[in-house]
Structure 1
C-alpha cells in the first residue's frame, strides 16, 4: 500500500513512518525500501528530511543534534552499504547545513533590523533624563506628585506653575550668560526680563528661547507631540541640535501655539488662539484665561486674582487696605514682579515676603 503513496503528505500522515524516522522503530519495514531506486523511494527520502527538519528547534541547530536524530537509521544503513550511506549522509548534512546557515542568517538579519530600529528611535528621541544627565550636576529637581499645579520661583524672579505629574530641573542660581531649565510634562512660565541673559527651556526634542514673556509647554514623556502656547511676548522655538543638526525654528507671538511632531521631527503650522471662541478658551489653563489689567480695582480683588492664578495663600492687613484701589498692568510679569509692583503702588512702606506658596503683605495702608 505504501508504494501507492504519491506525495510527501502521504508519508507524513503514516504514524509508522514517523516512528521509524524519529525513534528508530519499525526498521525492518522501512530499511529495505531505502536501498531501492524507484520514484516512491525518492518521495520517502524527501519526507524523511522534511520530518527531521521540522524537529530541529532554532536555538539547537547543531551538527550533533542532527546526527543524534538520525542515529538509529544511519547506524544500520552504513553496515549494509557504506558507500551509499556515506554519500547520502554527506548530502543530508550539506542540505541541513544550508538550512542551518539560512536560519542563522535570517535570525541575524532580524536582530540587526530590530537593533537598527531601536538605535534610530533613540537617536531621534531626546527625553528629560537624557537632557539632565548631560549636565554637570548642580541641578535642583522639583517633581509635582500632587493633583494641582505647583508654584516654583527661580533665583532670577521667574515664576513657573508646574502641572501634576511633571518635573522641572533648574540650578539654584543662574551663572554665565544663559538661564537653562529642563522640563518633563507641562508647565506655565513667566520669565523675568533680562535681554543680556536669555532663558532656555529644554523639553524633549524642543528648545524654547525667551527673553521675557509668558508661555506654556506641554512635553510629557509618552506624548507623541510637544505643544507650546504663548500668552504674552514672543518666543523662538527650535528642534534640539542633538537630534537634528540643521534644526528647524519658528517664532510665536501672543495667543499663538505650535505643535512639534516628535516622530517626524517637524513643526505643524502655527495656530492662532481666539480668546473669544469657547473651544479655544477651554484648552487654556486657569492662569492663561485670567486678565491682569486693572483699572481702579480694589487691592483685595487683585490679591484674589493672584490667589486664583497661582494657587497661593496671601495674608494681608485687610482693614488697612480696604479703601485702597489700584490702576496697573501686571501682564507679562512673573509673580514676584507682580507683588513688587503692587507694593510700590501702595506705598506706605508696603512690602511682601514669600515662602513657597505662602505670601505675607506688610503695609500701613495706601498713600
Structure 2
C-alpha cells in the first residue's frame, strides 16, 4: 500500500480497488482512514475522490460483458469527437484537457466498480474482519504482518500460527471459557494444540473453521472472492458464519489433503477431495505443507534446517556440541513449540529452547 503515498490526482484513488472497497462498502482493511488523517492536504484530495466515487453509485443492474464493452467504446468515441471539435474550433485549454482525463478515469472506474460489485463480493453478504472482532467481548491482541515474509505467532495454549504477509490475526492473551476463538484476515497456517474439552475456532470472513487438534491453512483475504481451507493433518469442520442472514448450519468435514472453497458472492461451498487436481491449490501450497516432519536417524542439524525452512525462523544452537547428534522422532502433528520441546527432550543433557518471534535459541550440553 505504500504506492498510495505517491498519489497526486483523484484518478489515482478512483482506480485503487481497496479505496473503492473502503468508500463503497465501508471495508477499511488497508487503513485508509488512519492514512488520510495523517495529512491535511491529503485529506482534501481523498475527500474529492470520495465524493466523485459516491456520485457514480447507481442502482444495481445486470450488465453483460458485451454491453459493458459496447458502452465503454461508445463513450470513448464521444470523448474523442468532443476533443477533435475543440481542437478545430477553439483553443484547447489545459483545464478542459484535465477534465477529459478525469472523465476517462471516472468512466474506467465506473465499469471496474460494476464488475467488482457483480463478480467479486456480494455486498449484502460481506462480513468484515472488523465486524468479527467487534462481535467478540474478550480483550484481543492483534498482530499484523506488514513484512514480506511469514511471521510465527505462538498462542497461550501452545498452538502456533504462521501468518503470511498482508494478513492479521486477533486472539486473546489467554484463552478462557470452554472455547478458543481467533479471527483472521488474510492467510495463515495453523497448528493447534490438542484439547478435546476446548475446541478451537477460526473466524475468517463468512466462514468458521472448528478444530480440536490438527494443522490446516486458511486463505481469506477481504478483497478476494473465495475463502479456502486446506487440511494437512487431523480433521476440521467448516460452516458459514451465523452472522450471515442466509447462513446454512450444515458443517463440511475435511480430512488430510482435502479442502473446501467458499464462494462469497453466492455463499456456496465446494469440497475438494483431491487437492492435487486443483491447480489453484497446488500453486498456493507452501513449504510447511510439503515438508515431512518424520525423522529416522537424522542429524539434528538437518532437523533444525527443516524447521527453519518450514516456519521461516532462525535457529541458533551449539553446533560443536550437537555435531554427532542424530534423532528418530515424529513431529508431523505438533505446533512449533511442541516440536522444539520434543527435540530438546530427545537430545537431553539440559537442552532447552527460548523463542522470541522468529528467533529461536537452543542451549545444550550435547546429546545423551
Aligned counterparts of 2:183 and 2:280: Cα–Cα separation in 1: 30
Change (3 A) 1:158 1:142: same
Corresponding residue SS for 1:353: strand
Corresponding residue SS for 1:336: helix
Corresponding residue SS for 2:197: coil
Q: Which residue of 2 aligns with 1:231?
A: 232
Q: Which residue of 2 aligns with 1:272?
A: 274
**Deviation of residue 283 (structure 1)?**
2.8
**Deviation of residue 219 (structure 1)?**
0.4
**Deviation of residue 121 (structure 1)?**
5.1
Q: Which residue of 1 aligns with 2:144?
A: 143
Q: Deviations over 1:317-365 (max 9, x none)?
A: 1111111100111101110000001011111111111111111111111
Aligned counterparts of 2:239 and 2:282: Cα–Cα separation in 1: 26
Matched, 1:253 2:236: no
Q: Any unmatched runs of 5+ in structure 2?
A: 1-116
Matched, 1:183 2:215: no
Q: Which residue of 2 aligns with 1:289?
A: 290
Aligned counterparts of 1:219 and 1:126: Cα–Cα separation in 2: 11
Native 8 Å contact 1:348 1:364 kept in 2: yes
TM, length-normalised to structure 1: 0.65
Query: Which structure carries more relative contact order (alpha carbon 8 Å, separation 6+)?
Result: 2
Q: Which residue of 2 aligns with 1:337?
A: 338
Matched, 1:358 2:359: yes
Q: Deviations over 1:74-124 (max 9, x none)?
A: xxxxxxxxxxxxxxxxxxxxxxxxxxxxxxxxxxxxxxxxxxx99x95542
Corresponding residue SS for 2:328: strand
Q: Which residue of 2 aligns with 1:16?
A: none
Q: Which runs of 4+ in 1 moved over 3 A?
A: 120-123, 277-282
Native 8 Å contact 2:186 2:219 kept in 1: yes
**Deviation of residue 281 (structure 1)?**
4.3
Q: Deviations over 1:175-195 (max 9, x none)?
A: 011000000000000111111
Corresponding residue SS for 1:268: strand
Q: Which residue of 2 aligns with 1:218?
A: 219
Q: Which residue of 1 aligns with 2:206?
A: 205
Number of residue pairs matched by the alignment: 249
Aligned counterparts of 1:134 and 1:144: Cα–Cα separation in 2: 22
Aligned counterparts of 1:318 and 1:138: Cα–Cα separation in 2: 42
Q: Which residue of 2 aligns with 1:127?
A: 128
Aligned counterparts of 2:271 and 2:356: Cα–Cα separation in 1: 41
Change (3 A) 1:336 1:132: same
Aligned counterparts of 1:328 and 1:278: Cα–Cα separation in 2: 33
**Deviation of residue 280 (structure 1)?**
6.0
Q: Which residue of 2 aligns with 1:301?
A: 302
Aligned counterparts of 1:264 and 1:270: Cα–Cα separation in 2: 18
Q: Deviations over 1:242-265 (max 9, x none)?
A: 213432320010011110011111
Aligned counterparts of 1:278 and 1:238: Cα–Cα separation in 2: 24
Corresponding residue SS for 1:319: coil
Q: Any unmatched runs of 5+ in structure 1?
A: 1-116
**Deviation of residue 236 (structure 1)?**
0.3
Aligned counterparts of 1:238 and 1:133: Cα–Cα separation in 2: 20
Native 8 Å contact 1:248 1:266 kept in 2: no
**Deviation of residue 223 (structure 1)?**
0.7
TM, length-normalised to structure 2: 0.65
Q: Single out whichever of 344-353 and 294-303 deviates more from structure 2.
A: 344-353
Change (3 A) 1:315 1:190: same
Aligned counterparts of 2:338 and 2:242: Cα–Cα separation in 1: 33
Change (3 A) 1:323 1:253: same
Q: Deviations over 1:213-243 (max 9, x none)?
A: 1100000001111001101111000011121
1:106-121 correspondence to structure 2 within 5 Å: none
Q: Which residue of 2 aligns with 1:196?
A: 197
Q: Which residue of 2 aligns with 1:30?
A: none
Aligned counterparts of 1:287 and 1:121: Cα–Cα separation in 2: 33
Aligned counterparts of 1:260 and 1:149: Cα–Cα separation in 2: 24
Corresponding residue SS for 1:221: coil
